[in-house]
Amino acid sequence: MRRIFSIIGKVLADNSSLSVQQLTNGSKLMLIASQGLHQGVNFFWGIEVFSVLVAESLSRRMGIDKSWMSLRNRASKKKGRGPTTNPNTKKRKEEKKGKVEFSKRLGRAVGGLQLAEFITEMGVVWRQYAPLNVYKWAEGPMPYKDKMWDDLMEKYDGLAGFRDEVMYNFNHMYRDWRHRKHLHYNQFLTDEERLQNCPDDIIESDWASLVEYFGSVPFKRMSAHNKANRAKQSSQSVEENHLLLSYMI
C-alpha cells in the first residue's frame, strides 16, 4: 500500500498544474493513472481503481468540494464497446515481435517498448481462450492454458522462462473476473432471476454453472471466511490510508 501511494505522489508532482476542469475529466484521470502503471503499480489494481486514488488526492490538494464517490463515478464511467481488441498488435508485421521485460521477483512485466500493449494483449488473450466454466483457475484444462501461452510467445520477445509468472497473472485475471460475476449474482434475490439476467460477456451455460457454484455451501463458507478476515483488517487499513493521504497533501 505504501508503494502505491508513493507512486501516486510522484504522479501528482508530474501533474501539479492540472485545472479543475482537467481533474473532473474522466479521460484525463485515466491518462494520469496510466502513468502510475509505468512507474511500477501492479496492473491488477486496475487503471480505474488507481485513477480513483489519484482523483481523491488531487481533490484534497486543490481544495475541490467533490465527494470521492462522485469522482470515482467520473473516473470510471465509460461507454460500452464490446470485446476488447488490441489494434497495436495487429498493426505490426507478423514476423516482428513486441518486446517486454519480465521480473521474477515481482512476477510481472516491468518494462519493454511494448509494455502497455502487452498488458492489454494479456486481457485480450485471456478473454479469447480462458475456460470460464471452472471454479478455480487451477482446474482449467491445460490445452487452453498452452494456447494462451503460445499466443503471447508468438507476439512478444522476453517471455521465455516466465511461463509461471504469466499464468499467475492470468490467475489474478480469472479471480477478478469471477468477483465481478459474483457482484452481479448478488444483485438478484433468486436463482431464477439470476439465470434470466446473464451478463453480456459470458454464455448462458457457463453463467448457470457459476450461479450453481455461488449458491453452494463450500463457496458460501469460503466467502464468509474471507469477509470475516477483511473485517479484521479494515480498521487498520483505513487508518493507514488516512495517514498516507494526509502525508501527501
Give me the phi and psi of 79, to 5 degrees please.
Answer: -80, 145
Where is pLDDT greater, at 10 or 159?
A: 159
**pLDDT for residue 220 is more than 70:** yes
**pLDDT for residue 106 is more than 60:** yes
Where is pLDDT greater, at 241 or 214?
A: 214
- Judged by average pLDDT, the poorest of 60-64, 82-86, 142-146, 173-177 is 60-64
Q: Residues 98, 118: contact at Cβ < 8 Å?
A: yes
Q: Residues 248, 53: contact at Cβ < 8 Å?
A: no
Distances (CA, A) of 74 to 51, 154, 226: 10, 38, 30
Residue 118 C-alpha from the chain's centroid: 14
What is the SS3 assignment for 21? helix
What local confidence, expressed as pLDDT, does residue 147 receive?
94
Range with top average pLDDT, 11-15, 59-63, 132-136, 155-159: 155-159
**pTM of the predicted model over 0.85:** no
**pLDDT, tens only, 32-58:** 445 544 444 444 444 444 444 555 555
**pLDDT, tens only, 144-153:** 999 999 999 9
**pLDDT for residue 237 is more than 90:** no
Task: Record the cell numbers describing residue 246, joined without a space.
Answer: 494526509
Where is pLDDT greater, at 57 or 118?
A: 118
User: What is the spatial distance between Cα 172 and Cα 105, in angstroms, rounded to a whole number?
Assistant: 17
User: What is the spatial distance between Cα 64 and Cα 247, in angstroms, rounded to a whole number?
Assistant: 18
- With a pLDDT cut of 70, the percent of the chain lying above it is 55
**pLDDT for residue 88 is more than 90:** no
Among candidates 144, 134, 140, which has minimal Cα distance to 210? 134
32 CB burial (10 A radius; 0-12, 13-18, 19+): buried
